Amino acid sequence: MSQQERDMLESFNVQAKDLLASKDRFIKNGHRVKVGLESELAIHAMLSNSELVQKRDAIIADNSDFTDVELGASQIEIRTPPIDLISNGGIASLKEIYEKRFASVLDSARRHEVGILRIGANPFLPTIGVPRTDKIKYHLVPDFYNQHRSSRLDTMIGLGKNRIDIGDASVVSLFQSFQVNLEADSLEDACDKMNRSLAIAPYLLAFSGNARYLNCQDTKIQDVRMMSWEISHYVKTFCDTGNWNNELRIGLPRRYFRNIVDYLQRAGTFPFILYAPESALAISIGMTWLDARVKFIGDSAIVELRLPSTQPTTEEETMLMLLYIGRLRYSQVNKEQILPINMVRENRLSAMLYGLKRPMWFLDKNEIPVKLPTKVGLARELEMAMIGLNGLGLLSALNTDLLNFMFEAGSPSDRLAKLLNSVGDISVCDMEHALLETKMLVT
């Protein structure tokens, strides 16, 4: 371990200890459901990388209050403030702000003559040597993983004839996700919410996959985003503390977290890569790329759901958010057993690869794991989500027509594939037309 790494670890430990010592500041009254949304978008136009960066920066400058850059040189992150959904007009307010902010970004994009991609994987850019935002952290981190990933690792992905190389950690620049940030009532509640979220997330992914095409080629995988991240960042040798070992930063932990101390211990086992001792804890949490994680902002412990890809519309994202909140609420109120994590691991991979087409594990009414056709199991999951929403007084906010549409028309990936399946070699033009038709490209 270098001196810089030692400094970072030392600072991390001090900051984690301070956080735990002041755990009471995270206690909330428990009568609110404070949610903020984040969604990553990408701009698209037939321009050079530097021109795209200029356009991206101009759009962010137009909307600087609620947007930010991401790893990808053409990516924009859009966010809402946290809003209590069960306050008077709360959910309506969140929807309105989210839609307005997207509309504002879209207006800017139009002025700058670029389109906005609402898709989990940008199909237009190459998977190797993807342009990155010019910030030091966006160079150091992917470079670290490129340097330490085993040269023997098979980095070709795809279930059909197209096998695509994702053996560059900056491939993450192609991926856009939709994130739900939910304030917890305490550190204990944050840990409980995170564990339950890890188990719930694959059910949401099973019908919302939106990252199938890379390099204008069909991978035939419902959602390549997280698996590409895992493979391109496959470095396991660093995490070895006895309590946590052989872990990846990405996806699922080996087991559920016992408490926040356990969560912080795991976070501290990975290489820091970046050097900023004053922000060691924040850096470590920022690089905890689990499907769900706990973040600490001010006096709030926030559970962030990270598995779903950006959806074609803000309405679909709002619907996913509500289903997640409702299902989590049901799980917590009923103190439900959580599915064994190895079954979650299977569910997650099944959802990523095949969406609804392969059976998944669910808990039956006696909370025994049972494998069911996914559509059958999800019907009960949705029921429980609706019970949870009803308990919060939010059921009327759920757009059931849209939900029915998503199950009938298939996931966004399925919808796109329906338009492109008959095309042999997909051109940029074919892809643009299909994306426009499915609302994944907005101009």
Write out the residues near other proteins by the rule CB under 8 A: 150-154, 156-159, 163, 221, 227, 231, 236, 246, 340, 342-343, 345-346, 349-350, 352-353, 361, 369, 371
Contact (Cβ atoms closer than 8 angstroms) between residue 301 and residue 184: yes
Q: Which is nearer to other proteins, 83 or 157 (CB)?
A: 157
Render the burial of 266-285: b for 16+ CB within 10 Å, e for the rest.
Answer: bbbbbbbbbeebeebbebbb
Contact (Cβ atoms closer than 8 angstroms) between residue 125 and residue 74: yes
Instruction: Report how far residue 403's alpha carbon sits from residue 334's, in angstroms, rounded to the nearest whole number.
Output: 25
CB of 391 to other proteins, least distance (A): 31
Annotate 93-138 with DSSP letters as a single string.
Answer: HHHHHHHHHHHHHHHHHHHTT-EEE-SSB-SSS-SSS--B-SSHHH
Tokens found for residue 320: 């996913």
Instruction: Report how far residue 244's alpha carbon sits from residue 73's, in angstroms, rounded to the nearest whole number.
Output: 34
Residue 68 CB neighbours (<10 A): 14
Tokens found for residue 80: 């809402």
CB of 350 to other proteins, least distance (A): 6
Among all chains, which residue has been given the structure tokens 């095309």?
A: 423
Q: Which is nearer to other proteins, 369 or 373 (CB)?
A: 369
CB of 183 to other proteins, least distance (A): 33
Q: Which is nearer to other proteins, 221 or 378 (CB)?
A: 221
CB of 227 to other proteins, least distance (A): 5
Instruction: Report how far residue 286's alpha carbon sits from residue 196's, in angstroms, rounded to the nearest whole number.
Output: 20
CB of 233 to other proteins, least distance (A): 13
Q: Which is nearer to other proteins, 221 or 323 (CB)?
A: 221
Tokens found for residue 376: 């059958």
* Residue 46: burial class (beta carbons within 10 Å; 0-12, 13-18, 19+): exposed
CB of 209 to other proteins, least distance (A): 13
CB of 18 to other proteins, least distance (A): 35
Q: Which is nearer to other proteins, 309 or 438 (CB)?
A: 309
CB of 158 to other proteins, least distance (A): 6
* SS3 (DSSP) at 266: helix
Q: Which is nearer to other proteins, 234 or 296 (CB)?
A: 234
Instruction: Report how far residue 408's alpha carbon sits from residue 413's, in angstroms, rounded to the nearest whole number.
Output: 13
Contact (Cβ atoms closer than 8 angstroms) between residue 169 and residue 249: no
Tokens found for residue 378: 């999800």
CB of 230 to other proteins, least distance (A): 8
Q: Which is nearer to other proteins, 218 or 304 (CB)?
A: 218
Q: Which is nearer to other proteins, 74 or 350 (CB)?
A: 350
* Residue 397: burial class (beta carbons within 10 Å; 0-12, 13-18, 19+): buried
Q: Which is nearer to other proteins, 28 or 345 (CB)?
A: 345
